[in-house]
Amino acid sequence: MGGEYREDIIFASTERELRQKYNELVECHLYMYGHSGYSGSFAEKPELKIIPGAFIQETASVECQDTNDKWGPSFAYNIGDGKYYIGGWCSS
């Protein structure tokens, strides 16, 4: 079984808002790609891990692609101005 890398940007001012918007993203992917599993979408990653620190988007992308596990949570990186880079390998 393979994996597909997914990424998105979420605007949020609090951790609670970030998690709520991520959950909405997962729900959107469940609707778009189905509930069957192995969709290669965020539907396969219902958990979110916030990586501490401040990042630039390019660094966040490279780090996430190098360290995220397709069976683990998505990663969220603070890239400033209320923006979070969300990424992860999703099982497909």
Beta-bridge partners for 75: 49, 87
Beta-bridge partners for 45: none
Question: Tens digit of pLDDT for each residue in 4-37?
Answer: 999 999 999 999 999 999 999 999 999 998 888 8
User: What was the pLDDT predicted at 34?
Assistant: 84
Extents of the domains making up the chain: 3-91
In one-letter notation, the amino acid at residue 28 is: C
CA angle 84, 69, 22 (to 5 degrees): 30
CA max distance for the chain: 37
Question: Per this entry, what is the length of the chain?
Answer: 92
Question: Tens digit of pLDDT for each residue in 34-54?
Answer: 888 899 999 999 899 999 999
Confidence band, pLDDT 50/70/90 cuts, at residue 1: low
Considering the entire predicted model, what is its pTM? 0.94
Which residues, 6+ apart, have CB-to-CB distance to 49 below 8 Å? 72, 73, 74, 75, 76
